[in-house]
Amino acid sequence: MHPHHTCVGGFQLSMVASSRQRNNHQQSRSILFPSATTSISKPKNNINKNNVPSTLISNLACMALKRRLSDPNSHVECDLTSIDPNKILFGGGHVGPVTVKGRSWKSPLGLTCRAITATVTECQLDMGKVLSKQKLVLNTPALGSAMVALSDTDFGNFITHPLMKPPSPPQLTNKNSINGNISADNNKLLFLRENVSLDPSSGIVTFYGTYAGSKWKFMLQRNTKNSDNNEDKASIHASLVKDEEEGSIIQDVDAIEKALTKTTSKFFNEMDLELDGTFLSFNDMQLTEKGDEPSVMISLRIKVIKFPSPGLEF
């Protein structure tokens, strides 16, 4: 795979350099992510260059996203292609494809990413409400895909975000407890924000968590052993941190490691994150060295039933 171009699950995204490379890469960044907050592509058949409905919809989408981002340096770009503006106004509000791009996103609750590209093939909007209330309202769910580029810090923010509920691991017994101390808190798996590392050469994302009173290491990577009977796109291997082994009296470390490996792998592959009517589910992943620091590219499936409420924080 070319280091400057990443393709996962048939979805393609060119990464941007981080802000620390802004002066050195201003030209390339302006090509990938124009400085204007909104850009509208021309209709495919070039009918009516002044496509007022497309411009209105794109501006509303960009403004709605901007209101949900806490970092003033976040950039939002909305590209909308329609066959004919008359199809939007008089053809049931059908528009698409619609693509949203952004970089340096940060939400009020700390969800961050280096870059994002999301596309839905077609939307059916309630144009009456769009025009009268200046608000995007869907008549039917919109389906699409997204690619999110996360740094090590972004990934740490992602796995510890309030909407990401860690999986429930197997319950401990006195036989395999750690340090003989069983409590409700010990039976909870909590991921840690710190010490996340990305290694593109091995394709592994390493992160940590606490469980049963000890610290555990989790190694996430793309599953290269897919088969007809195994559709998981990612696998996680769990192991007790070596420093914890010296002071622990675990009766059966292997059994707990296997249970945590199975639980967290299933959790990640079946991840379904809801943002007030917008559902994001895991599809695929890939690591890249593009830019001044490594990134993990996560491909997501999107289902939009409604746009998030204005007051929602995520």
Average pLDDT over residues 92-109: 89
Residue range 114-132, pLDDT digits in tens: 999 999 988 899 988 998 9
pLDDT of residue 36: 32
Angstrom distance (rounded) from CA 154 to CA 191: 14
**Rounded-to-integer distance, Cα 178 and Cα 247, Å:** 9
Better pLDDT: 198 or 38: 198
Cα dihedral sign, 163-11-295-262: positive
Is residue 308 within 8 Å of residue 32, measured between CB atoms? no
Residue corresponding to tokens 């394709």: 203
For 83, phi then psi, to 5°, come to -70, -40
Residue 297, pLDDT score: 97
Give the pLDDT score at 80. 81
Please give the structure tokens belonging to residue 116. 């994002």
The reported pLDDT for the residue numbered 65 is 87
Q: Is the pLDDT of residue 31 over 70?
A: no
pLDDT higher than 80, residue 21: no
- Looking at residue 23, its pLDDT comes to 41
Q: What is the mean pLDDT of residues 87-100?
A: 82
Tell me the C-alpha to C-alpha distance, in Å, between residue 23 and each of 5, 18, 95, 122, 160: 21, 10, 37, 37, 32
At 208 the pLDDT is: 97
Q: What is the pLDDT of residue 114?
A: 95
| 73, 104 contact by CB (below 8 A) | yes
Across the range 154-161, mean pLDDT stands at 96
State pLDDT tens for residues 218-255: 999 999 875 445 578 999 999 999 876 555 555 678 88
Q: What pLDDT score does 176 carry?
A: 47
CA proximity to 236, closest of 255, 220, 259: 220
pLDDT tens across 275-299, in order? 888 899 999 999 999 888 999 999 9
Query: What is the spatial distance between Cα 176 and Cα 262, in angstroms, rounded to a whole number?
Result: 17
As a whole number of angstroms, the distance between CA 192 and CA 174 comes to 26
Is the pLDDT higher at 15 or at 305? 305
Which of 20-24, 48-52, 242-246, 286-290 has the weakest average pLDDT? 20-24
Nearest partner of 298 among 159, 169, 174, 190, judged by Cα: 159
How far apart, in whole angstroms, are the C-alpha atoms of residue 212 and residue 253?
Answer: 12
The CA-atom distances, in angstroms, between 275 and each of 181, 194, 238, 264 are 37, 25, 29, 22
Q: What is the mean pLDDT of residues 173-177?
A: 50
Confidence of residue 196 (pLDDT cuts 50, 70, 90): very high
The arithmetic mean of pLDDT across residues 92-97, rounded, is 83
pLDDT at 86: 74
In DSSP terms, 214 is beta-bridged to 211
Q: Is the pLDDT of residue 148 over 70?
A: yes
Answer whether residue 183 shows pLDDT above 50. Answer: yes
Average pLDDT over the chain, rounded to whole?
78
Tell me the pLDDT band of 6, cut-offs 50, 70 and 90.
very low
How far is CA 310 from each of CA 64, 66, 303, rounded to the nearest angstrom?
A: 7, 11, 19
- Residue 89 pLDDT > 50, yes or no? yes
- Residue 170: what pLDDT? 67
Q: State pLDDT tens for residues 53-65.
A: 888 888 988 988 8
Per-residue model confidence (pLDDT) at position 1: 43
Q: Closest Cα partner for 81 from 116, 112, 121?
A: 121
In eight-state DSSP terms, residue 245 is H
Distance of alpha carbon 249 from its chain centroid, rounded? 38
